[in-house]
């Protein structure tokens, strides 16, 4: 059986899954950012996931970096590497959830958090 999920439906399914499994999602950022070698402002946020006392992923969480230009954030990079380790770390608990959609979901959550922090200053 093949099920087609659009982004909003996926977000709803993942959000319900996180609630039902009592997964704690901790989102934060590392401040207003830094300039890279191209005079671009890079702002980094993170997501830490815990299911009960068990940590999901690296101890420092998954770091999402964004270019900040003209009051807009655009994804710049993710650590650990999306093509390898992020799938491995999400793999056990989130088996069956497409990694790309999970990255999009958490990226949007972090971006919303960062925008709120920027606006509050």
Instruction: Return the domain boundaries, the chain.
Output: 23-119
pTM of the predicted model as reported, rounded to 2 decimal places: 0.85
CB distance 101 to 5 below 8 Å: yes
**3-state DSSP: the chain helix, strand, coil percent, rounded to 5?**
35, 30, 30
Please report, in tens digits, the pLDDT of each residue of the chain (121 residues total).
Answer: 556 667 778 889 899 989 998 999 999 999 999 998 889 999 999 999 998 888 888 888 899 999 999 999 999 998 876 555 555 556 567 877 887 888 899 999 999 999 999 988 7
Strand segments, DSSP code E, in 21-61 are 23-29, 34-35, 41-51, 54-56
Beta strands in 7-109 (DSSP E): 23-29, 34-35, 41-51, 54-56, 62-69, 72-79
């Amino acid at each position: 059986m093949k099920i087609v999920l659009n982004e909003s439906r996926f977000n709803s399914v993942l959000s319900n899954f996180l609630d039902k499994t009592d997964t704690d999602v901790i989102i934060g950022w590392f401040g207003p950012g830094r300039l890279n070698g191209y005079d671009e402002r890079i702002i980094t946020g993170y997501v830490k996931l815990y299911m009960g006392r068990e940590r999901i992923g690296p101890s420092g969480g998954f770091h999402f970096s964004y270019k900040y230009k003209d009051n807009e954030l655009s994804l710049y990079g993710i650590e650990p590497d999306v093509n390898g380790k992020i799938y491995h770390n999400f793999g056990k608990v989130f088996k069956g959830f497409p990694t790309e959609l999970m990255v999009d979901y958490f990226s949007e959550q972090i971006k919303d958090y960062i925008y709120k922090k920027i606006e509050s200053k």
